[in-house]
Amino acid sequence: MERNIRELKQELRSKSREFREGLSPERKSRLDGEILSRVLALREYACAGVVYTYVSKPIEVDTFGLIAAARKAGKRVAVPRCVPGTRRMEFFEIASADDLVPGSFGVPEPLPERCRPAAADARPLCVVPGFSFDSHGFRLGYGKGYYDRFLADFPGVTAGLCYSGCVRWNLPHGYYDRAVDILVTERYIRRITGQFSGR
């Protein structure tokens, strides 16, 4: 059964990757812009003093626009660094893209010696990546478990960013998986909180 679930997840990742790789640069830019507009319109974003966000790779929903907008709005921005030899992430506050260097898996990461560890305020917002999300807020990540471990103790609101073409009705998930509170696509905002007790 576990092997079948792993195979199913890999198949779903492949389908999402195929969809994303099939987007023209113009269409991807348009979809990213529409998703960004919806994130910036969230009341949870407006209330957040610090925004935790992933640093996007070319295949992901862009977050460089979000980082720039949040900094311009006077918000603190924190991005993750994978802790070597573990499956854990630490978040550090950055002032600009100059604080980033190539890190784990080729993803830009903050320089610990230049950045201070993130300190959550009363209403932090964490923007979460995923190959796919389902209608209940569960995500299909890259299979390494970094975000699952981090989100288990995150005290604030979580928002998953995803193209609507990669959203599924149901995704396989385990007992310890945490659904995001909000799902944001280029077409809609779906609020998840309260639908599932297994959070």
Tell me, yes or no, whether 196 lies in a domain: no
List 140's β-bridge partners, or say none: 132
Give the pLDDT confidence of 17-30 residue by residue, as tens digits. Answer: 999 999 999 999 99
Into how many domains does the chain fold?
1
Tell me, yes or no, whether 199 lies in a domain: no
Cα atoms in the Cβ-side hemisphere of radius 13 Å centred on 143 = 10
Tell me, yes or no, whether 157 lies in a domain: yes
Tell me, yes or no, whether 58 lies in a domain: yes
Give the residue-averaged pLDDT of 116-128: 88
Tell me, yes or no, whether 64 lies in a domain: yes
Tell me, yes or no, whether 9 lies in a domain: yes
Mean pLDDT of the chain: 90
Give the pLDDT confidence of 32-60 residue by residue, as tens digits. Answer: 999 999 999 999 999 999 999 999 999 99
Calculate the CA 96 to chain-centre distance.
Answer: 19
What does DSSP assign to residue 20?
A: H
Tell me, yes or no, whether 99 lies in a domain: yes
Note if the pTM is more than 0.75. yes
Tell me, yes or no, whether 92 lies in a domain: yes
Tokens at residue 53, please? 């966000």
* Residue numbers of the domain that contains 137: 2-191
Give the residue-averaged pLDDT of 82-95: 92
Q: With a cut of 50, say whether residue 195 has pLDDT above it.
A: no
CATH, residue 113: 3.40.50.10420
Those residues with Cβ within 8 angstroms of residue 82's Cβ, 6 or more apart along the chain or in another chain: 88, 89, 103, 104, 105, 109, 146
Confirm if 148 and 175 have CB atoms less than 8 A apart.
no
Q: Which amino acid is at 110?
A: P
